[in-house]
Every structure is written in C-alpha cells, then in structure tokens.
Amino acid sequence: MASRLRAKVGPRDAGSGTTTGVDAEGTGIYGSQSRDDFRRYDVEQYFENMGMLAAEGSYDKMEALLHQKIHPVDILLMMAASEGDKPKMEELLSAGAKYDVRDDEGRTALERAASDEIKQLILQFSVHRI
C-alpha cells in the first residue's frame, strides 16, 4: 500500500489536479465527484477556509448567491475564479460546474477571474466541453 501511495504522491506537473506535489485526481481526492455532490456546506467551508469571511466581514455575498438558487458547485467556481484557485477550479469544472452562470451582479466565473491564467483555464475547459 505504501509503495502505491508513494507512486501517486510526489512532484508532478502543475496542472490537472496537482498542487504541492500531490496528484489529487490520481489519488481519488477529486475526479469522482459530480455536480450534485456539492452542497451549501461546501460553499460555506470554502468561503471560510479561503479567508473570504474575514475579507468580506459577513456572509452577505455568499448568502446572496445561495438565495439566487445558483447551484453550489457554480457558486464555488465563481469563488475559486475570484481567488485564482486553479486546482479547485479544475476540480469543479471536471465535476460539471457551469462557467456561464451569472452572479447577483451579472458576472460569470470568467468575468470574475483573478488573472488571465484563470480566464485561459476556463476558456480551455469550455473548448473541451463542446
């Protein structure tokens, strides 16, 4: 078991579910989740863990998105795009997150993207989906 785990953990390229030397997709951390596996709880946890609660000072923005009946996986994608969290975005896009859903201000994940690199990730994924 340890040798199989060692074979999956270690430095790899920076894309496709790899962060800090761990092949998240290869170890089953993500890749098996579907759109409907994501819940409100996941949005709350991501909001808190990424420091968004501290930055915003309240849950108001998160609640506004949840009250719009936006699916949790799509909210997570918007948040990850805003944060520039490439591994999380890859996970969410692979799970079926929709990058063209609009937030309460009319912006999509593409429009909320923190950098050109994040925009490219979304655009590349959209091409592969067509």
Instruction: Tell me which residue range forms the domain holding 72.
Output: 33-129
Which residue has tokens 């990850």? 80
Residue 29: pLDDT over 70: no
Task: Assign 75 a pLDDT band (cuts: 50, 70, 90).
Answer: very high
What would the mean pLDDT of 70-86 be, rounded to a whole number? 93
Residue 18 is inside which H or E element, if any? strand 18-19
Residue 25: pLDDT over 80: no
Structural domain includes residue 55: yes
Structural domain includes residue 50: yes
Structural domain includes residue 17: no
Structural domain includes residue 10: no
Q: Please give the single-letter amino acid code of residue 33.
A: Q
Q: Give the domain CATH number at 120.
A: 1.25.40
Structural domain includes residue 2: no
Structural domain includes residue 96: yes
Tell me how many domains the chain contains. Answer: 1
Structural domain includes residue 88: yes
Structural domain includes residue 61: yes
What are the φ and ψ backbone dihedral angles of 9, each rounded to 5 degrees?
-110, 130
